[in-house]
Amino acid sequence: MRVKVTVNGAAYERDVEPRTLLAYFLREQCGLTGTHVGCDTSSCGCCVVVMDGERAVKSCTMFAAQADGHQILTVEGLANGGTLHPMQQAFWDQHGLQCGYCTPGMMLTAVALLKRHPNPDEAEIREGLSGNLCRCTGYQNIVKAVQQAADVLRQQPAGAVK
Amino acid sequence: MIPAAFDYLRAHSADEAFAHLQKRGADARVLAGGQSLIPAMRFRLARPAVLVDINAAGDLNHLRVNDGVLEIGAIARDSDIERAQWITDRRWSLIRDVSRVVADPVVRQMATVVGSLCHNDPAGDWTTTALAARATVVVRGKSGTRTVSIDEFLVDSFTTAVSEGEMALAVHFPVPDDRTAGSYQKIERKVGDFATAAAAVQLSLNANGTVREAGVALSAAGPCAVRVEEAERLLVGQKPSADLIRAAGEAASRRSSPQADLRGSVEYKKDLAGVLAARGLRQALSRLGVQV
Protein backbone atom coordinates (compact mmCIF):
# COMPACT_ATOMS: atom_id res chain seq x y z
CA MET A 1 0.00 0.00 0.00
CA ARG A 2 0.98 3.60 -0.55
CA VAL A 3 1.58 5.72 2.56
CA LYS A 4 2.63 9.32 2.91
CA VAL A 5 4.09 10.36 6.22
CA THR A 6 5.51 13.79 7.01
CA VAL A 7 8.65 13.19 9.05
CA ASN A 8 10.42 16.22 10.53
CA GLY A 9 8.63 18.42 8.01
CA ALA A 10 9.57 16.40 4.90
CA ALA A 11 7.07 14.18 3.09
CA TYR A 12 8.02 10.52 2.62
CA GLU A 13 5.75 8.68 0.21
CA ARG A 14 6.52 4.96 -0.03
CA ASP A 15 4.99 1.62 -1.00
CA VAL A 16 4.95 -0.60 2.05
CA GLU A 17 3.40 -3.84 3.21
CA PRO A 18 0.58 -3.13 5.68
CA ARG A 19 2.51 -5.05 8.34
CA THR A 20 5.40 -2.57 8.22
CA LEU A 21 5.82 -1.10 11.68
CA LEU A 22 6.40 2.63 11.94
CA ALA A 23 9.81 2.17 13.61
CA TYR A 24 11.05 0.14 10.64
CA PHE A 25 9.46 2.53 8.16
CA LEU A 26 11.44 5.38 9.73
CA ARG A 27 14.69 3.41 9.89
CA GLU A 28 14.58 1.51 6.61
CA GLN A 29 12.34 3.53 4.29
CA CYS A 30 13.28 7.01 5.45
CA GLY A 31 16.85 6.18 6.51
CA LEU A 32 16.30 7.85 9.87
CA THR A 33 18.07 5.45 12.22
CA GLY A 34 17.93 7.74 15.23
CA THR A 35 14.69 5.99 16.19
CA HIS A 36 15.96 2.92 18.03
CA VAL A 37 14.29 -0.44 18.48
CA GLY A 38 14.93 -1.96 21.89
CA CYS A 39 12.46 -4.49 23.19
CA ASP A 40 10.23 -4.56 20.08
CA THR A 41 7.16 -5.06 22.29
CA SER A 42 6.23 -1.60 23.66
CA SER A 43 8.01 -2.07 26.99
CA CYS A 44 11.20 0.00 26.71
CA GLY A 45 10.37 3.28 24.96
CA CYS A 46 13.54 3.48 22.80
CA CYS A 47 11.35 3.87 19.71
CA VAL A 48 9.20 6.77 20.93
CA VAL A 49 8.39 9.44 18.36
CA VAL A 50 5.96 12.35 18.57
CA MET A 51 2.85 12.21 16.41
CA ASP A 52 1.05 15.39 15.30
CA GLY A 53 3.10 17.54 17.64
CA GLU A 54 1.61 16.32 20.86
CA ARG A 55 1.32 12.59 21.32
CA ALA A 56 4.35 10.45 22.25
CA VAL A 57 3.89 7.01 20.68
CA LYS A 58 5.90 3.81 20.65
CA SER A 59 6.67 3.40 16.96
CA CYS A 60 7.38 -0.34 17.30
CA THR A 61 3.74 -0.86 18.28
CA MET A 62 2.11 1.08 15.48
CA PHE A 63 1.88 0.34 11.77
CA ALA A 64 3.26 2.83 9.26
CA ALA A 65 -0.22 2.74 7.73
CA GLN A 66 -1.56 4.34 10.91
CA ALA A 67 0.81 7.27 10.41
CA ASP A 68 -0.41 7.83 6.83
CA GLY A 69 -1.30 11.50 6.52
CA HIS A 70 0.18 12.35 9.93
CA GLN A 71 3.18 14.37 11.13
CA ILE A 72 5.98 12.53 12.90
CA LEU A 73 8.84 14.11 14.83
CA THR A 74 11.96 11.96 15.34
CA VAL A 75 15.21 12.79 17.10
CA GLU A 76 16.69 13.94 13.78
CA GLY A 77 14.08 16.70 13.69
CA LEU A 78 14.92 18.21 17.08
CA ALA A 79 18.00 20.30 16.24
CA ASN A 80 17.62 23.54 14.34
CA GLY A 81 20.49 23.37 11.83
CA GLY A 82 23.65 23.36 13.94
CA THR A 83 21.87 24.39 17.13
CA LEU A 84 20.80 21.66 19.48
CA HIS A 85 17.21 21.64 20.73
CA PRO A 86 17.07 22.73 24.39
CA MET A 87 16.26 19.11 25.30
CA GLN A 88 19.37 17.83 23.49
CA GLN A 89 21.52 20.57 25.03
CA ALA A 90 20.18 19.70 28.47
CA PHE A 91 20.98 15.98 28.06
CA TRP A 92 24.51 17.05 27.05
CA ASP A 93 24.92 19.52 29.93
CA GLN A 94 23.50 17.22 32.59
CA HIS A 95 25.19 14.02 31.35
CA GLY A 96 21.76 12.49 30.81
CA LEU A 97 23.13 9.54 28.88
CA GLN A 98 25.87 6.95 28.83
CA CYS A 99 25.47 4.58 25.87
CA GLY A 100 22.74 6.72 24.28
CA TYR A 101 20.49 3.90 23.18
CA CYS A 102 17.44 5.06 25.13
CA THR A 103 18.17 8.76 24.58
CA PRO A 104 16.07 9.52 21.47
CA GLY A 105 13.00 7.95 23.09
CA MET A 106 13.69 9.70 26.40
CA MET A 107 14.02 13.08 24.70
CA LEU A 108 10.92 12.74 22.55
CA THR A 109 8.80 11.50 25.46
CA ALA A 110 10.07 14.48 27.46
CA VAL A 111 9.41 16.94 24.61
CA ALA A 112 5.78 15.78 24.42
CA LEU A 113 5.51 15.88 28.22
CA LEU A 114 6.72 19.49 28.40
CA LYS A 115 4.42 20.56 25.62
CA ARG A 116 1.47 19.38 27.70
CA HIS A 117 2.92 20.28 31.03
CA PRO A 118 5.56 23.05 30.78
CA ASN A 119 6.41 23.15 34.49
CA PRO A 120 6.39 19.62 35.89
CA ASP A 121 7.81 18.81 39.30
CA GLU A 122 10.32 16.01 39.75
CA ALA A 123 7.68 13.38 40.54
CA GLU A 124 5.73 14.31 37.41
CA ILE A 125 8.86 14.01 35.27
CA ARG A 126 9.67 10.60 36.73
CA GLU A 127 6.10 9.45 36.20
CA GLY A 128 6.06 10.84 32.65
CA LEU A 129 9.24 8.93 31.79
CA SER A 130 8.22 5.69 33.49
CA GLY A 131 7.50 4.02 30.14
CA ASN A 132 11.11 4.58 29.04
CA LEU A 133 13.91 2.35 30.30
CA CYS A 134 17.58 3.29 30.68
CA ARG A 135 19.92 0.40 31.44
CA CYS A 136 23.16 2.36 32.01
CA THR A 137 23.02 5.40 34.18
CA GLY A 138 19.96 5.41 36.31
CA TYR A 139 17.53 8.23 35.91
CA GLN A 140 18.89 11.05 38.06
CA ASN A 141 20.67 12.96 35.31
CA ILE A 142 17.87 12.32 32.86
CA VAL A 143 15.45 13.96 35.28
CA LYS A 144 17.87 16.88 35.75
CA ALA A 145 18.12 17.27 31.98
CA VAL A 146 14.34 17.44 31.61
CA GLN A 147 14.19 20.01 34.42
CA GLN A 148 16.84 22.13 32.65
CA ALA A 149 15.02 21.86 29.32
CA ALA A 150 11.74 22.82 30.98
CA ASP A 151 13.38 25.94 32.46
CA VAL A 152 14.88 26.92 29.09
CA LEU A 153 11.72 26.22 27.09
CA ARG A 154 9.57 28.28 29.46
CA GLN A 155 11.78 31.32 28.75
CA GLN A 156 11.26 31.04 25.01
CA PRO A 157 8.36 32.55 23.09
CA ALA A 158 5.72 30.06 21.99
CA GLY A 159 6.49 28.47 18.62
CA ALA A 160 10.22 29.28 18.82
CA VAL A 161 11.18 25.59 19.12
CA LYS A 162 9.57 22.38 17.99
CA MET B 1 9.27 -10.38 15.22
CA ILE B 2 7.30 -9.05 12.31
CA PRO B 3 3.56 -9.78 12.19
CA ALA B 4 2.16 -12.17 9.59
CA ALA B 5 0.87 -10.42 6.47
CA PHE B 6 -2.68 -9.06 6.50
CA ASP B 7 -4.99 -6.89 4.41
CA TYR B 8 -5.38 -3.40 5.80
CA LEU B 9 -8.72 -1.59 5.56
CA ARG B 10 -9.12 1.92 6.90
CA ALA B 11 -12.53 2.96 8.16
CA HIS B 12 -13.46 6.64 8.37
CA SER B 13 -16.67 6.02 10.31
CA ALA B 14 -18.34 3.37 12.42
CA ASP B 15 -20.59 2.54 9.44
CA GLU B 16 -17.61 1.93 7.20
CA ALA B 17 -15.90 -0.24 9.80
CA PHE B 18 -19.06 -2.27 10.26
CA ALA B 19 -19.41 -2.74 6.49
CA HIS B 20 -15.82 -4.04 6.29
CA LEU B 21 -16.48 -6.43 9.17
CA GLN B 22 -19.65 -7.70 7.51
CA LYS B 23 -17.63 -8.58 4.42
CA ARG B 24 -14.54 -9.99 6.11
CA GLY B 25 -15.76 -10.73 9.65
CA ALA B 26 -14.44 -14.25 10.05
CA ASP B 27 -10.87 -13.18 9.32
CA ALA B 28 -10.92 -9.61 10.56
CA ARG B 29 -9.92 -7.87 13.73
CA VAL B 30 -10.57 -4.25 14.63
CA LEU B 31 -7.43 -2.15 15.14
CA ALA B 32 -7.94 0.64 17.69
CA GLY B 33 -4.96 1.60 19.87
CA GLY B 34 -3.22 -1.67 18.99
CA GLN B 35 -1.26 -1.76 22.24
CA SER B 36 -2.29 -5.37 22.95
CA LEU B 37 -3.16 -6.53 19.44
CA ILE B 38 0.10 -5.48 17.75
CA PRO B 39 2.38 -7.18 20.31
CA ALA B 40 0.16 -10.29 20.03
CA MET B 41 0.57 -10.16 16.24
CA ARG B 42 4.32 -9.70 16.58
CA PHE B 43 4.52 -12.83 18.74
CA ARG B 44 2.24 -14.53 16.17
CA LEU B 45 -0.23 -15.24 18.93
CA ALA B 46 -2.72 -13.43 16.70
CA ARG B 47 -2.72 -13.76 12.92
CA PRO B 48 -5.75 -11.89 11.60
CA ALA B 49 -6.03 -11.94 7.80
CA VAL B 50 -7.61 -8.49 7.84
CA LEU B 51 -7.24 -5.46 10.08
CA VAL B 52 -9.98 -2.86 10.08
CA ASP B 53 -8.29 0.31 11.34
CA ILE B 54 -10.81 2.55 13.14
CA ASN B 55 -8.33 5.26 14.18
CA ALA B 56 -9.68 7.62 11.50
CA ALA B 57 -13.33 7.01 12.48
CA GLY B 58 -14.07 10.40 14.05
CA ASP B 59 -17.52 9.33 15.22
CA LEU B 60 -15.90 6.80 17.58
CA ASN B 61 -13.59 9.41 19.13
CA HIS B 62 -15.84 10.74 21.84
CA LEU B 63 -15.62 11.15 25.58
CA ARG B 64 -18.70 12.87 26.94
CA VAL B 65 -21.24 12.90 29.70
CA ASN B 66 -24.67 12.56 28.18
CA ASP B 67 -27.95 11.87 29.95
CA GLY B 68 -26.43 10.50 33.15
CA VAL B 69 -23.89 8.36 31.33
CA LEU B 70 -20.20 8.79 30.64
CA GLU B 71 -19.76 7.61 27.05
CA ILE B 72 -16.29 6.52 25.97
CA GLY B 73 -16.01 5.85 22.24
CA ALA B 74 -13.95 3.05 20.74
CA ILE B 75 -10.94 5.22 19.92
CA ALA B 76 -10.91 7.52 22.97
CA ARG B 77 -7.44 7.06 24.46
CA ASP B 78 -6.59 6.24 28.05
CA SER B 79 -4.65 9.52 28.16
CA ASP B 80 -7.80 11.47 27.14
CA ILE B 81 -9.46 10.15 30.27
CA GLU B 82 -6.44 10.83 32.48
CA ARG B 83 -6.52 14.47 31.31
CA ALA B 84 -10.28 15.06 31.27
CA GLN B 85 -11.49 18.12 33.22
CA TRP B 86 -14.14 16.22 35.17
CA ILE B 87 -11.78 13.47 36.31
CA THR B 88 -10.85 15.26 39.54
CA ASP B 89 -14.44 15.01 40.85
CA ARG B 90 -14.35 12.34 43.57
CA ARG B 91 -17.30 10.46 42.08
CA TRP B 92 -14.89 9.45 39.27
CA SER B 93 -12.06 8.50 41.62
CA LEU B 94 -12.07 4.83 40.55
CA ILE B 95 -11.69 5.83 36.90
CA ARG B 96 -9.10 8.47 37.74
CA ASP B 97 -7.03 5.94 39.70
CA VAL B 98 -7.08 3.35 36.95
CA SER B 99 -6.34 5.86 34.19
CA ARG B 100 -3.00 6.54 35.88
CA VAL B 101 -1.83 2.94 36.23
CA VAL B 102 -2.80 1.23 32.98
CA ALA B 103 0.39 0.15 31.17
CA ASP B 104 2.73 3.19 31.06
CA PRO B 105 2.21 6.89 30.21
CA VAL B 106 3.34 6.54 26.59
CA VAL B 107 1.30 3.40 25.90
CA ARG B 108 -1.71 5.23 27.35
CA GLN B 109 -1.45 7.84 24.58
CA MET B 110 -2.51 5.15 22.07
CA ALA B 111 -4.31 2.56 24.18
CA THR B 112 -8.12 2.66 24.37
CA VAL B 113 -10.60 1.64 27.07
CA VAL B 114 -12.91 -0.15 24.64
CA GLY B 115 -9.95 -2.00 23.09
CA SER B 116 -8.87 -3.18 26.51
CA LEU B 117 -12.38 -4.47 27.24
CA CYS B 118 -12.49 -6.28 23.89
CA HIS B 119 -9.06 -7.81 24.48
CA ASN B 120 -10.28 -9.07 27.88
CA ASP B 121 -6.92 -10.01 29.31
CA PRO B 122 -7.25 -11.82 32.66
CA ALA B 123 -4.99 -9.15 34.17
CA GLY B 124 -6.70 -6.19 32.50
CA ASP B 125 -7.37 -3.00 34.44
CA TRP B 126 -10.36 -1.58 32.55
CA THR B 127 -12.32 -4.86 32.66
CA THR B 128 -12.05 -4.92 36.45
CA THR B 129 -12.97 -1.25 36.67
CA ALA B 130 -15.96 -1.69 34.39
CA LEU B 131 -17.27 -4.49 36.64
CA ALA B 132 -16.97 -2.42 39.82
CA ALA B 133 -18.58 0.62 38.15
CA ARG B 134 -21.31 -1.51 36.46
CA ALA B 135 -20.56 -0.32 32.95
CA THR B 136 -22.31 -1.43 29.78
CA VAL B 137 -20.85 -1.93 26.32
CA VAL B 138 -22.58 -0.82 23.11
CA VAL B 139 -22.20 -3.51 20.47
CA ARG B 140 -23.20 -3.20 16.86
CA GLY B 141 -24.39 -6.39 15.19
CA LYS B 142 -26.37 -7.49 12.15
CA SER B 143 -29.73 -6.80 13.77
CA GLY B 144 -28.73 -3.38 15.08
CA THR B 145 -27.07 -1.92 18.13
CA ARG B 146 -27.47 -3.53 21.55
CA THR B 147 -26.27 -2.69 25.04
CA VAL B 148 -24.58 -5.48 26.96
CA SER B 149 -23.89 -5.45 30.70
CA ILE B 150 -20.20 -5.82 31.44
CA ASP B 151 -20.89 -9.08 33.32
CA GLU B 152 -22.31 -10.60 30.13
CA PHE B 153 -19.73 -8.92 27.93
CA LEU B 154 -16.72 -10.59 29.61
CA VAL B 155 -17.20 -14.20 28.56
CA ASP B 156 -13.82 -15.83 29.20
CA SER B 157 -10.09 -15.12 28.77
CA PHE B 158 -9.65 -13.06 25.61
CA THR B 159 -13.29 -13.74 24.71
CA THR B 160 -16.22 -11.32 24.79
CA ALA B 161 -19.85 -11.11 23.72
CA VAL B 162 -18.74 -9.47 20.45
CA SER B 163 -19.32 -12.12 17.78
CA GLU B 164 -17.99 -12.48 14.27
CA GLY B 165 -18.79 -9.45 12.12
CA GLU B 166 -19.73 -7.35 15.15
CA MET B 167 -17.91 -4.52 16.84
CA ALA B 168 -17.94 -2.66 20.16
CA LEU B 169 -18.72 1.02 19.61
CA ALA B 170 -18.45 2.46 23.11
CA VAL B 171 -18.49 1.75 26.81
CA HIS B 172 -20.95 3.55 29.08
CA PHE B 173 -20.30 4.26 32.74
CA PRO B 174 -23.34 5.43 34.74
CA VAL B 175 -22.62 8.84 36.30
CA PRO B 176 -22.39 8.09 40.04
CA ASP B 177 -24.18 10.36 42.53
CA ASP B 178 -22.13 12.78 44.62
CA ARG B 179 -21.97 10.45 47.63
CA THR B 180 -19.87 8.04 45.56
CA ALA B 181 -16.16 7.37 45.52
CA GLY B 182 -13.93 4.55 44.40
CA SER B 183 -10.38 3.32 44.37
CA TYR B 184 -8.14 1.19 42.20
CA GLN B 185 -5.39 -0.72 43.95
CA LYS B 186 -2.78 -2.45 41.82
CA ILE B 187 0.44 -4.20 42.66
CA GLU B 188 2.83 -4.56 39.73
CA ARG B 189 6.51 -5.47 39.61
CA LYS B 190 7.30 -2.44 37.49
CA VAL B 191 5.43 0.21 35.52
CA GLY B 192 3.88 -1.40 32.47
CA ASP B 193 3.83 -4.95 33.82
CA PHE B 194 0.60 -6.85 34.18
CA ALA B 195 -0.93 -6.69 37.64
CA THR B 196 0.28 -9.24 40.17
CA ALA B 197 -3.10 -8.50 41.70
CA ALA B 198 -5.48 -5.56 41.52
CA ALA B 199 -8.82 -4.58 43.02
CA ALA B 200 -11.39 -2.06 41.82
CA VAL B 201 -13.87 -0.68 44.31
CA GLN B 202 -16.75 1.78 44.06
CA LEU B 203 -19.08 2.72 46.93
CA SER B 204 -22.17 4.92 47.10
CA LEU B 205 -23.48 5.91 50.50
CA ASN B 206 -26.98 6.80 51.71
CA ALA B 207 -27.53 10.06 53.59
CA ASN B 208 -27.50 8.07 56.87
CA GLY B 209 -24.02 6.73 56.09
CA THR B 210 -24.98 3.18 55.16
CA VAL B 211 -23.79 1.66 51.90
CA ARG B 212 -26.32 2.05 49.08
CA GLU B 213 -24.33 0.43 46.27
CA ALA B 214 -21.06 -1.45 46.24
CA GLY B 215 -18.89 -2.63 43.38
CA VAL B 216 -15.90 -4.87 44.12
CA ALA B 217 -13.91 -6.62 41.39
CA LEU B 218 -10.52 -8.26 40.99
CA SER B 219 -7.94 -8.50 38.24
CA ALA B 220 -5.46 -11.36 37.74
CA ALA B 221 -7.74 -13.50 39.87
CA GLY B 222 -9.20 -15.93 37.34
CA PRO B 223 -9.76 -16.49 33.61
CA CYS B 224 -11.04 -12.92 33.36
CA ALA B 225 -11.88 -10.06 35.72
CA VAL B 226 -14.14 -11.28 38.51
CA ARG B 227 -16.88 -9.58 40.51
CA VAL B 228 -16.81 -10.35 44.24
CA GLU B 229 -20.56 -10.69 44.76
CA GLU B 230 -20.17 -11.89 48.33
CA ALA B 231 -18.31 -8.71 49.31
CA GLU B 232 -20.90 -6.52 47.55
CA ARG B 233 -23.74 -8.30 49.39
CA LEU B 234 -21.96 -7.94 52.73
CA LEU B 235 -21.50 -4.20 52.23
CA VAL B 236 -24.89 -3.06 50.94
CA GLY B 237 -27.19 -1.71 53.65
CA GLN B 238 -24.47 -1.72 56.30
CA LYS B 239 -22.69 1.07 58.13
CA PRO B 240 -18.99 0.84 57.21
CA SER B 241 -16.79 -0.56 59.97
CA ALA B 242 -13.38 -2.16 60.32
CA ASP B 243 -15.02 -5.58 60.76
CA LEU B 244 -17.15 -5.13 57.66
CA ILE B 245 -14.14 -4.21 55.56
CA ARG B 246 -12.18 -7.15 56.91
CA ALA B 247 -15.04 -9.49 56.01
CA ALA B 248 -15.28 -8.01 52.50
CA GLY B 249 -11.52 -8.45 52.04
CA GLU B 250 -11.75 -12.07 53.14
CA ALA B 251 -14.54 -12.62 50.63
CA ALA B 252 -12.30 -11.17 47.89
CA SER B 253 -9.50 -13.50 48.91
CA ARG B 254 -11.83 -16.50 48.73
CA ARG B 255 -13.17 -15.44 45.33
CA SER B 256 -9.71 -15.03 43.82
CA SER B 257 -8.46 -18.04 41.85
CA PRO B 258 -5.18 -16.84 40.37
CA GLN B 259 -2.48 -18.78 38.60
CA ALA B 260 1.02 -19.06 40.00
CA ASP B 261 3.70 -17.41 37.88
CA LEU B 262 6.89 -15.39 38.31
CA ARG B 263 4.84 -12.66 39.96
CA GLY B 264 3.85 -14.88 42.86
CA SER B 265 2.29 -18.06 44.20
CA VAL B 266 -1.43 -18.79 44.32
CA GLU B 267 -1.42 -18.35 48.10
CA TYR B 268 0.31 -14.97 47.88
CA LYS B 269 -1.97 -13.66 45.15
CA LYS B 270 -5.11 -14.78 46.96
CA ASP B 271 -3.96 -13.02 50.09
CA LEU B 272 -3.06 -9.93 48.09
CA ALA B 273 -6.54 -9.80 46.50
CA GLY B 274 -8.08 -9.51 49.97
CA VAL B 275 -5.56 -6.93 51.14
CA LEU B 276 -6.09 -4.77 48.05
CA ALA B 277 -9.89 -4.99 48.18
CA ALA B 278 -9.85 -3.90 51.84
CA ARG B 279 -7.36 -1.14 51.11
CA GLY B 280 -9.53 0.07 48.22
CA LEU B 281 -12.64 0.10 50.41
CA ARG B 282 -10.85 2.11 53.10
CA GLN B 283 -9.58 4.60 50.52
CA ALA B 284 -13.00 5.00 48.88
CA LEU B 285 -14.52 5.66 52.32
CA SER B 286 -11.79 8.08 53.23
CA ARG B 287 -12.50 9.99 50.02
CA LEU B 288 -16.10 10.21 51.26
CA GLY B 289 -14.88 11.58 54.57
CA VAL B 290 -15.49 8.32 56.46
CA GLN B 291 -12.60 6.93 58.51
CA VAL B 292 -12.82 3.32 59.65
**Min distance A112 CA to chain B CA atoms (Å):** 10
Number of domains in chain B: 3
Residue at B197 is within a domain: yes
- pLDDT, tens only, B217-249: 999 999 999 999 999 999 999 999 999 999 999
Domain enclosing residue B39, as ranges = 7-53
**B53 contacts A45? CB cut-off 8 A:** no
Last residue of a domain, one of B116, B149, B174: B174
- pLDDT, tens only, B16-38: 999 999 999 889 999 999 999 99
**Min distance A130 CA to chain B CA atoms (Å):** 6
Q: What is the pTM of this model?
A: 0.96
B contacts of A40 (beta carbons < 8 Å): 1, 42
> Are B88 and B159 in a shared domain?
yes
First to last CA, chain A: 30
B contacts of A44 (beta carbons < 8 Å): none
Domain of B93, CATH number, reads: 3.30.465.10
CATH placement of domain A2-77 = 3.10.20.30
Last residue of a domain, one of B157, B174, B191: B174
> Are B49 and B81 in a shared domain?
no
Residue at B2 is within a domain: no
CA-closest candidate to residue B128, choices B255, B240, B27, B17 = B255
Q: Which of B100, B104, B193 to mutate against chain A (most A CBs within 10 Å)?
A: B104
- pLDDT, tens only, B69-84: 999 999 999 999 999 9
Interface ipTM: 0.94
pLDDT in the model for residue A161:
64
What percent of chain B clears pLDDT 70, i.e. is strictly above it?
A: 100
Q: Is the pLDDT score of B61 beyond 80?
A: yes
CATH placement of domain A86-155 = 1.10.150.120
A115 CB near a chain B CB, below 8 Å?
no
Mean pLDDT by 10 residues, chain A (162 residues): 98 98 98 95 94 96 98 97 96 96 98 96 97 92 98 84 62
Q: How far is CA A146 from the centre of its chain?
A: 13
- pLDDT, tens only, A108-129: 999 999 999 999 999 999 999 9
Question: Residue B90 and residue B287: Cα distance in Å, rounded?
Answer: 7
pLDDT in the model for residue A148:
98
- Count contacts between A and B (CB, < 8 Å): 83
CA-closest candidate to residue B258, choices B195, B210, B212 = B195
Domain of B44, CATH number, reads: 3.30.43.10
> Are B187 and B271 in a shared domain?
yes
> Are B165 and B64 in a shared domain?
yes
Every domain of chain A and the residues it spans? 2-77, 86-155
Backbone angles phi and psi of A82, in degrees to 5: -90, 0
- pLDDT, tens only, B112-135: 999 999 999 999 999 999 999 999
Which contiguous run of DSSP H or E holds residue B151? Answer: helix B150-153
What percent of chain B clears pLDDT 90, i.e. is strictly above it?
A: 97
Smallest Cβ–Cβ distance between B104 and the set A62, A112, A131 belongs to A131
